[in-house]
Structure 1
Amino acid sequence: MKKNIGMLMRKMLPALGVLALAPAFAFAQTTLDARSFGDLSDTSGASAENAAVDTSGGLGSKAERLQCLNGLNPSGNSGAVKLKVQMGTYRIYNPSTDTFDTVWMRSYNGCPTGPTISVKPNAKLKVTLDNQLDANNPPANCPPNPDHSTPHCFNDTNLHTHGLHISPSGDQDNVLVAVHPGDKPRVYNFQIPANHPSGTFWYHAHLHGATAIDVSSGMAGVLIVRGSRPARPGVADGSADIDTILHRKQPSQPLREHVMLFQQIEYGCFNGATSVTPLADATTFEWLCPAGSKGEIRGYDNQLSFVADPRLGHAHQFNSTWAISGRYTQINGVVQPVFPSTKSFVPAGEIRRLRMVHGGNRDTINVKLVRATLSTLGLADSQSLSAAQVDAATNSAALKLAGNRTKPAQEIVLDALCNGETVKQLEFAEDGLTMPAMVEKDVNSMNPGYRSDVLVAFPSPGLYCMLDEAADASATINFRTDSMKAKNRRLLALVRVGPGVNIPNTTVGNHSKYWQYIRDQLVAGNADLPEPAKSDLASLELRAFAPTIPVDGPVANVVPVRFDIQPPSPSGPNSGLRFVINGETYDPAKVAYTGVLGNIDQWNVSTSFLASHVFHIHTNPFKIMDIKNAAGHSVFNGSGGCSAEEAATGDHEYCNLQGILRDTLFLKAGYTLSMRTVYQDYTGEFVMHCHILDHEDHGMMENVSVISPTTAYLRRVTSPVTAMTKGATRWLSQLRGKDETQLALASALCTARDYRRE
């Protein structure tokens, strides 16, 4: 019925005229309203816009929706918050059926996402983590001494503050502790350094063996460090906070920000309480959720994994269950939301800050903003559309997509609809750290763990598409050999832009009109900025606001790290693939590398030719020195861009990264990252791992320890004694069973040797 009405309406569009269409689409408004974007920013503007949407969304009521969108500690001052780990029930829109699937997922506070938490430098944040999940069931999944190359103990958890430079020990960012169901709530006391850079960070569950199942259920949230340190006269050392210049002409009015947490919730529905195989369509093999069922994540073998692909055209391939499942990336708990809401617009020409966080597990996201071509909907288009006309375009586009539910059919619609002007994104921070200069991007490639802060301004009223752009296999984490396309174009959101100030079509040099317009607005709003920051801003350079780390001195050690997936070990306990770093799976009792506080180390991180991986290290960020391709050639041209060889691949995601600070980086198969890090402020034990989190849970992780220079010196001095003592112990053990005289003589000799060495 609905499809027939839609066909009739499309035939009538030209005759009816735009204004007459709004009532005709009223029948679709309820579904569309439930997909209204919910902003996870904890600012007053976001709260007001969230409250203006009269819908429950995927939650049980409007009050529940607003509660899940409310931020914690919005003042950013020292404070206390609580995260309750519990099963949560809510609904997720499924474009393949144009209905909502009910899911039952591990969660924070019963919500699709964790709440946004704000904090300021020098503040202390107390977080109470209360694990109210049921005991691990079946118990076989959680043995007393689990195999650390196999996911386990799915209802145990802990907490990681991804990207924060804080202590990895004790009650701070310690991921080597477990919070079991029924345990006394664990209290974390995060002390933020006084000089911590402002930026976009995030938090998520991080217990080895259960990290992927937690994060893929939605146990992740955004963590914002809000800074107020202004640029100082004569200084451009990165000690100022970018927040202080991102405002309108009135310094007291910051740019409106939107927090976007991208997640990939890989839920399935099952035939019975003990089944672990998701129900699937017999032809497409996409996962099904019949009416009355609840979607869950029950394990790793048939979810969160690579399996033999049953789909037509994929014979003899192993592909991710995420790709096979037919699921869609969601933003703040909503699949294909209407942004900024179904009741509001982004005014044309108004600069907005997008804080984008990839909190998913199993897909590369290529964010692209494109103006919709309304003629494909039978609508007239212009640079001066009214709000009512944008309403009609939104409804018409949603209806057309709903009538083309398969992914191939939706891609055809998107290719026709979303082919107008590309809106440039001006990226100014990666992984929460402000860069030395803003970079214009058509496509912003994000992988699990990434954060990207961008400024955008839409040129004129209209409907725009936020796309997850198509990509070749080599440019995605779902890389497979002998394949060209790993992902096709998808819709992330529909963007509604209303009347405002149209952007002039003027450019400067090689820069776009977007660069020119945003530059002019920022310069006009910061007339009192001291030099050299003021002159820098005229070319969108940000030296005063871009933090640095002191890695230009002597390198103490070169650390080789190789991520690899190996065939099963004939003598090993498991029959599956081995996910290894430097040939070894994770051993929690082993420290793979020890660094010394204050030292500069160079890490050379590589991947095999068989798979791509995402390198992430805790506590200290790193500076990218070089990235080499599979042929051993640098991907950089020495002038801030990509080499001709790398550009010829069609993938430009590395082009602006030389010299940039990161804590997470995607490495294409066969590539090598050369990065430098300095161990600052904190000793203790932390981890580095692949941020394709099911890889981590299968063993692709290592412990790293940082010790003080004094401890390092004592270890050097005592190591010969320690080695000799170990040798003597072995000698004594060989003498066991001999007469007491020989044994006493041997013991005396060992004691005398140790005494002389001391």
Structure 2
Amino acid sequence: MIVCLRATLAFSVTLCSLSAFSAASDRCPRPAIGGVVREPADLRSVNGVLDANLTIRNSKEPDGSLRYCYFDGKGNEAPTLRVSPGDRVVLHLKNELVDLEGTPSAHAAHAREAVTKSKDPCSSAIMSPIATNLHFHGLTIPPKCHQDEVLHTSIQPGDPPFTYEFQIPADESPGMYWYHPHIHGFAKTELLGGASGAIIVEGTERADKAVAGLAERVFVVRDQDLLYPDAPPSKKESAVPALLLDSDGDTVNTGTGGGRPAKDLSINFVPVPYPEYEPAVIEMKPGEKQLWRVLNASGLTYLNLTLLRDGSAQEVGLISLDGVPMNTNGGPADFVYWTTRLGVPPGSRVEFIVSGPAAGTTEMLVTRTVDTGPGGENDPNRALAVLKPVANASESRVKLDAKPQPLPRSNKQWLGDVAPVRVRKLYFSEKLQDPNNPASADEFYLTPEGETAQMFDMNAKTPNIVVKQGTVEDWIIENRSNEVHAFHIHQLHFLLMESGGGPVDEPYLRDTINVPYHQGNLPDFPAIRVRMDFRDPNIVGTFLYHCHLLDHEDKGMMGSIEVLPADSPRQASKNGLCTGTESDPCSNFNTPPPTK
């Protein structure tokens, strides 16, 4: 089993047409429990340009839950953006969010005051419940306003439509990416409400001919606050210990594989709520082979997906992680990694081959329990969807080219073969309100070694890390807390080099990865070592790295990094384990440095 599956986790979801929604709200309608999973609508580029309108809205439901949603100009919710390498993307984002608090809050009051003072969404940096922006997760596009900048860009409800305009790089890896808001302090609220959608960069079959000619399905798994938070566990579930709540009211990991989850899940908005977990329905032609593209758009939930037939795990063929085909390292043109379990943390994507059940049988897509640590949320065993063979099932809207022209091999040196100029060390840590209660964390940190741990400050004038474009660095990321964290960095992908104290042979690029939790009886903190790729000139500028559990991100577990132009007279920051200078060249980069 590869480490991304051992130390990571994630998965699955699909969307419904408006006519199928049993909506309590016409602002953000949702399908009924147990419904058939439908595909999101597609917005496609035409003659090399994708030009579209997006509107973000929100609503407060009768049960008190908050919903957030994107609509395109035709009223389709959470459309999938489909582009090809080299295409130009023009998105006009209109903010129609409303203050759902009912009473003036400090944040809302601050936002209203700030709006009167700021006229430029590119520099306002207003972080409030009614502000929004867009992050294009995984894409290698510049961290500039109107492209993919989230430190200062903030769009208000009174603003005219804000235009995002950027080009998909000609060498962007074909695969699955996604878009969502990135307002610091409120990212969890908007994402749990459903503000997310998929992006597909076409051409996966050109990169890996194993999927040529296959029907394609897009599934987005989201989490949300529990629909029935006070319900006892199902009678079908064995008894579990009394449940604890963390400082946000989320259920703490029971360590049993059961009990009330921290959050409910949905698959393309079809809800699968606790405690009965009535599954959504995925219809397939009997025995049909398909390529599933699965995004874990959860704000907090790890997934550990398995397909079960009569209780027996079925193999699926993994071909891509986080938007990058797994044969990018020069592997075989028809690469497939067959496995019975797929794990992806919040924010990650997996693309894999599935064979539908035979006529007269069914299969079940489940997520198995994830050990998030004694301070982590509870992610128990639960069903997600039934795979149902239907002879006249609707044809997939997308079928990959059966005879694709292979993508040309990249002339860029494989990342694993590049010597890093520097090794840095960062660590996750938390501050507990009650030192005796691991669920009482109220401040979260992601700190470069040698600096004082502190919550991320959006208004800081100095970035936490400075690097040079054209270089490669190794980062050791340590977890000093008792819950799993998901490390993510904007604008680029990285390569896992070491995990669990030793080297790994996993030549696959990622943009999100788990760092295992610390067990208090062990002397060393767990750590991973990743090779960071700063060679692309598109990423010059300042952007973010953070834990992709958005409650942690919102509460300070984040940092900023500035990528200087290659010819800049400024130097990279020297908070690493070696500086890359002539006197300290990091020549022994293959020797694992100390992890504590």
Q: What TM-score do you get using the length of structure 1 for normalisation?
A: 0.57
CA contact (8 A) 1:112 1:332 kept: no
**Residue aligning to 1:340:** 282
Q: Specify the SS of the correspondent of 1:347.
A: coil
Using the alignment, how far apart are the partners of 2:346 and 2:494 within structure 1?
A: 17
Once the two structures are TM-superposed, the CA of residue 141 in structure 1 deviates from its matched residue by: 2.3
Once the two structures are TM-superposed, the CA of residue 38 in structure 1 deviates from its matched residue by: 8.9
User: Which of 44, 49, 52 is the aligned partner of 1:73?
Assistant: 44
CA contact (8 A) 2:13 2:222 kept: no
- Structure 1 residues 584, 54: CA separation in 2 closer, same or farther (over 3 Å shift)? closer
Matched, 1:438 2:336: yes
- Structure 1 residues 143, 74: CA separation in 2 closer, same or farther (over 3 Å shift)? same
Matched, 1:581 2:451: no
Rg bigger for which structure?
Answer: 1
**Residue aligning to 2:267:** 331
**Residue aligning to 2:584:** none
Please state which structure has a larger fraction of its residues in helix.
1
**Residue aligning to 1:678:** 533
Using the alignment, how far apart are the partners of 1:90 and 1:548 within structure 2?
A: 52
Instruction: Output aligned runs, 1:363-378, within 5 Å.
Output: 363-372=301-310
Matched, 1:284 2:232: yes
Using the alignment, how far apart are the partners of 1:566 and 1:676 within structure 2?
A: 29
Using the alignment, how far apart are the partners of 2:565 and 2:200 within structure 1?
A: 30
- Structure 1 residues 112, 448: CA separation in 2 closer, same or farther (over 3 Å shift)? farther
Matched, 1:493 2:385: yes
Instruction: Output aligned runs, 1:141-160, within 5 Å.
Output: 141-142=107-108, 144=110, 153-160=128-135
Matched, 1:634 2:527: no
Using the alignment, how far apart are the partners of 1:547 and 1:489 within structure 2?
A: 42
CA contact (8 A) 2:14 2:270 kept: no
Please state which structure has a larger fraction of its residues in strand.
2
> Runs ≥4 in structure 1, deviation > 6 angstroms?
64-68, 545-548
Q: Specify the SS of the correspondent of 2:67.
A: strand
- Structure 1 residues 696, 327: CA separation in 2 closer, same or farther (over 3 Å shift)? closer
Once the two structures are TM-superposed, the CA of residue 674 in structure 1 deviates from its matched residue by: 0.7
Instruction: Output aligned runs, 1:565-604, within 5 Å.
Output: 565-567=430-432, 577-582=442-447, 583-588=453-458, 589=460, 590-604=462-476
Matched, 1:697 2:554: yes
CA contact (8 A) 2:281 2:386 kept: yes
CA contact (8 A) 2:135 2:149 kept: yes
Using the alignment, how far apart are the partners of 1:353 and 1:662 within structure 2?
A: 20
Q: What TM-score do you get using the length of structure 2 for normalisation?
A: 0.72
Using the alignment, how far apart are the partners of 1:451 and 1:318 within structure 2?
A: 28
Matched, 1:129 2:21: no
Using the alignment, how far apart are the partners of 2:568 and 2:410 within structure 1?
A: 35
Instruction: Output aligned runs, 1:84-123, within 5 Å.
Output: 84-88=55-59, 105-109=67-71, 114-123=78-87
User: Which of 151, 161, 181 is the aligned partner of 1:205?
Assistant: 181
- Structure 1 residues 672, 664: CA separation in 2 closer, same or farther (over 3 Å shift)? same
**Residue aligning to 2:158:** 182
- Structure 1 residues 444, 127: CA separation in 2 closer, same or farther (over 3 Å shift)? same
Using the alignment, how far apart are the partners of 1:608 and 1:112 within structure 2?
A: 44
Matched, 1:469 2:367: yes
Once the two structures are TM-superposed, the CA of residue 709 in structure 1 deviates from its matched residue by: 2.6
Using the alignment, how far apart are the partners of 2:170 and 2:90 within structure 1?
A: 17
Matched, 1:166 2:125: no
CA contact (8 A) 1:684 1:706 kept: yes
1:497-552 CA-to-partner distances (Å, cap 9, x unmatched) read 2569xxxxxxxxxxxxxxxxxxxxx9xx66x988xx9xxxxxxxxx9699975453
Figure out how many residues of one structure are paired with residues of the other and give that number: 485
- Structure 1 residues 85, 326: CA separation in 2 closer, same or farther (over 3 Å shift)? same
Instruction: Output aligned runs, 1:49-64, within 5 Å.
Output: 55-56=20-21, 58=23
* Identical counterparts, % of pairs: 24
Matched, 1:422 2:313: yes
Matched, 1:664 2:512: yes
Once the two structures are TM-superposed, the CA of residue 700 in structure 1 deviates from its matched residue by: 0.7
CA contact (8 A) 1:361 1:692 kept: yes
**Residue aligning to 2:106:** 140
CA contact (8 A) 2:219 2:292 kept: yes
Instruction: Output aligned runs, 1:462-541, within 5 Å.
Output: 462-473=360-371, 476=372, 479-480=373-374, 486-498=378-390
**Residue aligning to 1:538:** none
Once the two structures are TM-superposed, the CA of residue 487 in structure 1 deviates from its matched residue by: 3.9
Using the alignment, how far apart are the partners of 2:233 and 2:414 within structure 1?
A: 49
- Structure 1 residues 715, 258: CA separation in 2 closer, same or farther (over 3 Å shift)? closer
- Structure 1 residues 422, 142: CA separation in 2 closer, same or farther (over 3 Å shift)? same
Once the two structures are TM-superposed, the CA of residue 555 in structure 1 deviates from its matched residue by: 1.7
Once the two structures are TM-superposed, the CA of residue 284 in structure 1 deviates from its matched residue by: 3.4
Once the two structures are TM-superposed, the CA of residue 339 in structure 1 deviates from its matched residue by: 3.6
User: Letter of the aligned partner of 2:168 in structure 1?
Assistant: I
Once the two structures are TM-superposed, the CA of residue 160 in structure 1 deviates from its matched residue by: 0.3
Unaligned ranges ≥5, structure 2: 1-11, 32-37, 114-125, 252-259, 273-278, 328-334, 393-399, 448-452, 519-525, 574-596
